[in-house]
Amino acid sequence: MTTSIKLFVLVPAFMLAFLEASHTNAQKASSDDTYNLIVSDQPLGTVLDQLARTAGVTFSYNPDQIGINRKVSLRISGKTLREIMRELFDEDTFDFRQRGNQVVIFRKGDTDSESKSTINSTHSKELQEIKPDTVYLVKERVVTDTITLIETQIKTDTVFVAEKQPENKIGSKDIFRNNPPMYARLKPEFSVDVGLKVSPLFSYRSYTADEDYGELLKAYRKADSGYAFSGAAGIVIGVNYERLCFISGVEMVQLAHRFNYNFITTTGGYYLKDTLDAYYTVSNNDTAWFYLVDSSYLSEDIKQFRYNTLVRYRYLDFPLMIQYNLPVARNLIHFNAGIIAGVSVGKSGYYLSSDNQTVADTKTLNNRPLLFSAKVGAGVSLPISSKLVLNAGIHYRHALQSVYKDFTIKIYPAALGADFSLIMRL
């Protein structure tokens, strides 16, 4: 029983102590407290939020009335909440009241606000009905930064790329894979080819003469300046049977060499006599005349002649060649030899006369109308298509006869050249 009485006394006492502590912690902010506030060019709403955190209060206001976007700059030190509020708001226009930790800001002249500014007595009265109070809600705005969005438009096109694996590199077999190999043309049957041919040439001359004309032969060789550029072009006709080919056609050929010769002629070289005095003597009825004379030598008249020109021989050639074809991979290597019959169609230039003293025009000499030459060559044949073949090679030709008839010096044209021909199989 005693224990029950003790519990009955202690429990109410403990509850009274707890309520007193709660009341102490919930006291309102004192109006005598001072605060420091430093802001620069900040909106009014931001300044009120900072002051609320500093003073531990909550502000209630109408944002449209107080202008929360108005810029404020303050530097306050050691002032009360009321003094700070007077700095922020015009005293003639706005007023505020504080209930506990809540501060209500309102415009003066608002009767509703004036009626609500009356502070209730500390002695509470029991109300028969609930009367709601006017609560000003703070309108919060979310301010976001403006970010410029750059829109990039990408336009694409469809491109088809033919890709080939590295291990399958393109070679000569792939390039000419649609062309039959050259050895497939070597059949035991006759076939005819026709084509066009061009041949750049480096021509020169060789000379021979009898022993009696040794000095003149030396003069001719000295006057020859060596190789000169020449050329040939024409039509080629070939008849094939297995590995053999018989070639003929017609070509226009020009063989040239440079004639470079200088010589000197002299005239004069005699004495001129002058009579200075004359006298005579008589002996036995004979008269003898004596003359005193003087003489002077006249020098020679020297003339130098220089010739530096091209000597050209032009022929219409009719070759007759035989060719042997050797298959190598897809191509052919060929060797040929034969005779060329050249019909003379013209000449120009100068030659050294047999007396080794004068130079004359070659038109005064009698050309051999038909000049035979020997020719050998080699080359390669490459397939371009099923009908076309490209031939390339080199050759050497040398005349078997002298260019001129009945002339002291025998002149034999020769040339080293290249052959390029495009052949079509009929």
User: Which candidate, 206, 312, 198, 321, places its Cα nearest to that of 252?
Assistant: 198
Residue 288's pLDDT band (cuts 50, 70, 90)? confident
Question: Residue 330: CA atoms inside 13 Å, Cβ hemisphere, count?
Answer: 18
pLDDT of 16-32, one tens digit each?
Answer: 444 444 443 444 456 67
Say what the pLDDT of residue 216 is.
85
Question: Which range among 43-57, 136-150, 218-232 shows the weakest confidence by mean pLDDT?
Answer: 136-150
The yes-or-no verdict on residue 8 having pLDDT over 60 is no
What topology is assigned to 31-116+135-143 in CATH? Phage tail protein beta-alpha-beta fold (3.55.50)
pLDDT for res 147: 65
If we measure between CA atoms, which residue out of 251, 254, 381 comes closest to residue 319?
Answer: 251
Q: Mean of the pLDDT values across residues 156-169?
A: 64
166 versus 283: the higher-pLDDT residue is: 283
Q: What is the pLDDT of residue 422?
A: 95
**Average pLDDT score over residue span 339-363:** 86
Q: Among residues of the chain, what percentage have pLDDT more than 90?
A: 28
- Position 393 scores a pLDDT of 96
Point out which residues pair with 279 in neighbouring strands.
290
CATH, range 180-262+305-425: 2.40.160.20
Which percentage of the chain shows pLDDT scores above 70?
A: 69
Identify whether the C-beta of residue 338 lies closer than 8 Å to the C-beta of residue 351.
no
The mean pLDDT value for 394-420 works out to: 93
Structure confidence at residue 244 (pLDDT) = 93
- Among all chains, which residue has been given the structure tokens 């608002």? 110
Q: In this predicted model, what pLDDT tens digit does every residue of 369-378 receive, in sequence order?
A: 999 999 999 9
Instruction: Name, of 95-109, 255-269, 302-316, 386-400, the range with top average pLDDT.
Output: 386-400
* CA 250 – CA 239 distance, rounded (Å): 15
Q: Taking Cα atoms as reference points, which of 417, 391, 376, 422 lies closest to residue 231?
A: 417
Residues of the chain with CATH 2.40.160.20: 180-262+305-425
For 194-203, what is each residue's pLDDT tens digit? 999 999 999 9
Q: Model confidence at 395, in pLDDT bands (50, 70, 90)? A: very high
Q: In the beta sheet, which residues pair with residue 42?
A: 72
